A and B are shown apart, each in its own frame.
Chain A
Amino acid sequence: MFYDLNVPWTENVRELQRTVAFLDELGYDVVALTHTISGKPPSDLTPPIPTTLPFPVPPKLRLLRRVTLHLTDTSTNHLIPQLQQHYDLIAARPTSERTLQQACANLDVDLISLDLTQRPEKHFKFSMLGTAIARGVKIELCYSQAILSTDPSAKRMMISNIVQLIRVTRGRGILFSSEARSALGLRAPSDVINLSSVWGLGHERGKDGVTKEPRGVVEFARLKRESYRGVVDVVYGGEKPESKKQETQGKGKNAQNKRKAEGSEEAAGKKEGKTSNRQMKKNKKAKTGGA
């Protein structure tokens, strides 16, 4: 399973269709379409990416929806819990040293995506990126700009940044994605792995960067949204008997709402937590009793 977690979403349907078809041709299995929010956040947070795309999608390909939030200051941080309900993945793109520090330390995002075409304000530090990686937040490297840019100095900057990041993170928690605005900027997974080994990451780690690490991000994000506190998840609840159907459905709905509310506010009140626990237990009982 190969992952490309950053394909910019465009209004241009033909271009997007070609890009998606080309990704399938190159052998990717999971692709995340990215919507970028920069500057002032819009009042309507519902994603512009439709759940079913207006063209036939290759059957093997799994599409996810992702949002990249440009962090210019701390004012947009409150949006993250709301965005979590609309998107499958949330990435942060810090624009300054301070926001990078914050994103690494305590923002509830799935990915940190760095703009590699610019010189970083300071050298990256392991203590900073290490905390992010320890929390399960991965660092994303986008390769397409390095390939497509005709300006040699931009290419040089990009490569030097990537090499630095690889050195600083000790090769841990790095994943590769394309951020290709056209199909031309995409490369096959094997080519990306080779590039990573040229850049000093090694074949094994490079392969993890397009398979294992992004899979971790996707699954972790899914668990965060759907499961109970990221620990317990009902994969298949079994068929419900006819007679109890009405009752259990009602309860299930209630519990779902609770869970969502809880997910958005990590530090929910103690009291609320207690009742919800009880609710969960009750719910579970009802379910197991039913099944």
Chain B
Amino acid sequence: MVRLKNRYLVVNYLYPNGNGQQTGKDSLPGALTFHQPTPDEFHQGKLLRAIQENVQELFGEYGMGMVSTSLKINYHSTATSTSIIRCPQAHFEIVWAALTFMTKLPKPIDVPVVVKAVRVSGTIRKAEEEVIRRAKELIRRARVGEAGPGDAEILKDVARQVAKSKDAEPMDVDESGDESESD
């Protein structure tokens, strides 16, 4: 039995110029300045389309064909500006490069963004663990810098979203119960 192999990219959205919603960004502690929540209009569908457009622009039809077989957004949280993107193992570099070349959120939002891949993982479990670890780390840093309000909500949101995604899709703990596309 041959399994379809994937890579999971954990990406963060960083906003070097603020996310266009808050004006008083100087009051935030240093650790949080760039880690602002993503506008809610930037949902999963938009992200997927943005990736596809970028792949198309950089690699053309060839790239699209290579990638589109298993391109999927597994997890997307606007509150923590984090996503997990699934892509085929052999061509994850294409998706990664497309993300690197992204400079703005898609059209109506149009906020300058830097997409940073923070982890490349072979299983979704490790990717999720990384997301949780990152969120905790960020909150710790924010506390050290300045105890602002809203930390607890972010943490709760992370926990809720992760729980949701765990329910929705069986994880890669044992290799047998993985994706249904194995052949």
Q: Is the CB of A183 within 8 A of B93?
A: no
With A21-B30, A148-B103, A184-B112 known to touch, is A194 a contact of B16 (CB < 8 Å)? no
Binary contact track A172-194/B, C-beta < 8 Å → 1, others 0: 00000000001110111011001
With A195-B100, A198-B94 known to touch, is A188 a contact of B17 (CB < 8 Å)? no
B13: Cβ under 8 A from any A Cβ: no
Interface residues of B in 72-121 (CB under 8 A from A): 93-94, 96-97, 99-101, 103, 112, 114, 116-118
Binary contact track A11-24/B, C-beta < 8 Å → 1, others 0: 00000001101100
A134: Cβ under 8 A from any B Cβ: no
Binary contact track A202-235/B, C-beta < 8 Å → 1, others 0: 0000000000000000000000000000000000
Q: Is the CB of B100 within 8 A of A186?
A: no
Q: Separation in Å of the A125 CB from the closest CB of chain B? A: 29
Q: How large is the interface on A (under 10, 10 to 19, 20 to 34, 35 or more residues)?
A: 20 to 34
Q: Which single residue of chain B is at the shortest CB-CB distance from A148?
A: B103
Q: Which single residue of chain A is at the shortest CB-CB distance from B30?
A: A21
In angstroms, Cα B117 to Cα A25, docked, is 13
B70: Cβ under 8 A from any A Cβ: no
A26: Cβ under 8 A from any B Cβ: yes
Q: Is the CB of B17 within 8 A of A184?
A: yes
Q: Separation in Å of the B98 CB from the closest CB of chain A? A: 10
Q: Which single residue of chain B is at the shortest CB-CB distance from A182?
A: B16
A197: Cβ under 8 A from any B Cβ: yes
Q: Is the CB of B100 within 8 A of A147?
A: yes
Q: Is the CB of A191 within 8 A of B100?
A: yes
How many positions in chain B have a CB within 8 Å of any CB in the partner chain? 20
Chain A residues with Cβ below 8 Å from B117 are 188, 190-191, 194
Contact of A195 among B34, B97, B103, B118 (CB under 8 A): B97
Chain B residues with Cβ below 8 Å from A22 are 14, 16, 34, 114
Q: Is the CB of A197 within 8 A of B33?
A: no
Q: Is the CB of A25 within 8 A of B14?
A: yes
Q: Separation in Å of the B143 CB from the closest CB of chain A? A: 17
Interface residues of A in 6-57 (CB under 8 A from B): 18-19, 21-22, 25-26
Q: Is the CB of B116 within 8 A of A198?
A: no
In angstroms, Cα B30 to Cα A119, docked, is 41
With A184-B16, A197-B93, A198-B93 known to touch, is A26 a contact of B100 (CB < 8 Å)? no
With A18-B16, A147-B101 known to touch, is A188 a contact of B93 (CB < 8 Å)? no
In angstroms, Cα B14 to Cα A21, docked, is 12
Q: Is the interface of B mostly helix, strand, loop or mixed?
A: mixed
Chain A residues with Cβ below 8 Å from B97 are 194-195, 198
Interface residues of B in 30-60 (CB under 8 A from A): 30, 33-34, 57
Q: Is the CB of A21 within 8 A of B33?
A: yes
Chain B residues with Cβ below 8 Å from A195 are 97, 100
With A21-B30, A25-B34 known to touch, is A194 a contact of B100 (CB < 8 Å)? yes
Interface residues of A in 101-160 (CB under 8 A from B): 147-148, 152
In angstroms, Cα B112 to Cα A195, docked, is 20
With A183-B16, A198-B94 known to touch, is A191 a contact of B103 (CB < 8 Å)? no
In angstroms, Cα B100 to Cα A191, docked, is 6
Q: Which single residue of chain A is at the shortest CB-CB distance from B11?
A: A191
In angstroms, Cα B97 to Cα A147, docked, is 10
Q: Separation in Å of the B83 CB from the closest CB of chain A? A: 15
In angstroms, Cα B31 to Cα A58, docked, is 11
Q: Separation in Å of the B39 CB from the closest CB of chain A? A: 17
Q: Separation in Å of the B89 CB from the closest CB of chain A? A: 14
Chain A residues with Cβ below 8 Å from B112 are 184
Q: Which single residue of chain B is at the shortest CB-CB distance from A203?
A: B93
Nearest 8 pairs of A and B residues by beta carbon = A183-B16, A188-B116, A191-B100, A198-B97, A194-B96, A184-B112, A22-B16, A25-B34
Listed by A's residue number, 25 A-B pairs whose Cβ atoms lie within 8 Å are A18-B17, A19-B16, A21-B33, A22-B114, A26-B14, A147-B101, A152-B57, A182-B17, A183-B17, A184-B16, A184-B17, A184-B112, A187-B116, A188-B116, A191-B96, A191-B99, A191-B100, A191-B117, A194-B96, A194-B97, A194-B117, A195-B97, A197-B93, A198-B93, A198-B96
| Other 13 A-B pairs with CB < 8 A, given A21-B33, A22-B34, A184-B16 | A18-B16, A21-B30, A21-B34, A147-B100, A147-B103, A148-B103, A183-B16, A186-B114, A187-B116, A191-B96, A191-B99, A191-B117, A198-B94
